């Protein structure tokens, strides 16, 4: 008997339920193609911003024993670079692995423009919106203000409706915000 570990999330089929999270090892072209060729169930990009970001000063990642600290500060190649990588992956995705683009919310207008382009391109199977990176110095986290988060989500859903896209969009929320939302 073969155990079927496949799953479906928002209509997207995953042959295997384990994949990377957006983080320190999905930033470069090489890392994303390594994930594409791995046994993971899908590939999640680094949370992208409209322009290249070098992120925080080192150390950005520290491993000790079974534990790690990650304070990358949204280091990423920028939207245009990831869009080109996604085009390359789309052309050769012989594994038919779901591709999830992670989009950071540093500037709401830039975020909506990136999502608009991704939805229209149909290069990805899902979009993860990351409004909660805590490692950006001098910046309030959108998820700490529920009224602003509510307005943001409503605007996001309106954008998706206006485009007529069926590509699922999810929010990357810190665990405590998820608990508070369920309590409310």
Catalytic residues: 133
For 73-140, strand residue ranges (E) read 99-104, 126-130
Q: Which of 93, 51, 100, 96 is nearest to 76 (CA)?
A: 51
Backbone angles phi, psi at 48, to 5 degrees: -95, 150
> In 3-107, which residue ranges form alpha helices assigned H by DSSP?
29-36, 79-92
Return the exposure string of 81-109: e unless at least 16 CB atoms fall within 10 Å of the residue's CB, then b: ebbebbeebeeebeeebbbbbbbbbbeee
Evaluate whether 5 touches 17 at the Cβ level (below 8 Å).
Answer: yes
Evaluate whether 98 touches 167 at the Cβ level (below 8 Å).
Answer: no
């Amino acid at each position: 008997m073969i155990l079927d570990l496949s799953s479906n999330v928002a209509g997207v089929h995953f042959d295997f339920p384990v994949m990377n999270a957006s983080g320190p090892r999905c930033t470069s072209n090489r890392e994303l193609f390594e994930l594409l060729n791995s046994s993971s169930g899908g590939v999640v990009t680094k949370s992208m911003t409209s322009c290249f970001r070098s992120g925080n000063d080192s150390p950005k990642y520290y491993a000790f024993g079974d534990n790690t600290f990650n304070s990358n500060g949204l280091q990423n190649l920028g939207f245009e670079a990831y869009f080109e990588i996604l085009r390359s992956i789309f052309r050769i995705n012989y594994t038919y692995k779901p591709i999830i683009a992670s989009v950071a919310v540093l500037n709401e207008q830039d975020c909506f423009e990136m999502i608009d382009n991704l939805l229209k391109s149909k290069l990805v199977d899902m979009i993860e919106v990351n409004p909660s990176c805590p490692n950006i110095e001098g910046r309030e986290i959108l998820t700490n203000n529920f009224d602003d988060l509510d307005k943001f989500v409503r605007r996001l859903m309106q954008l998706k409706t206006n485009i007529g896209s069926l590509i699922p969009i999810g929010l990357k929320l810190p665990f405590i915000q998820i608990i508070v939302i369920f309590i409310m």
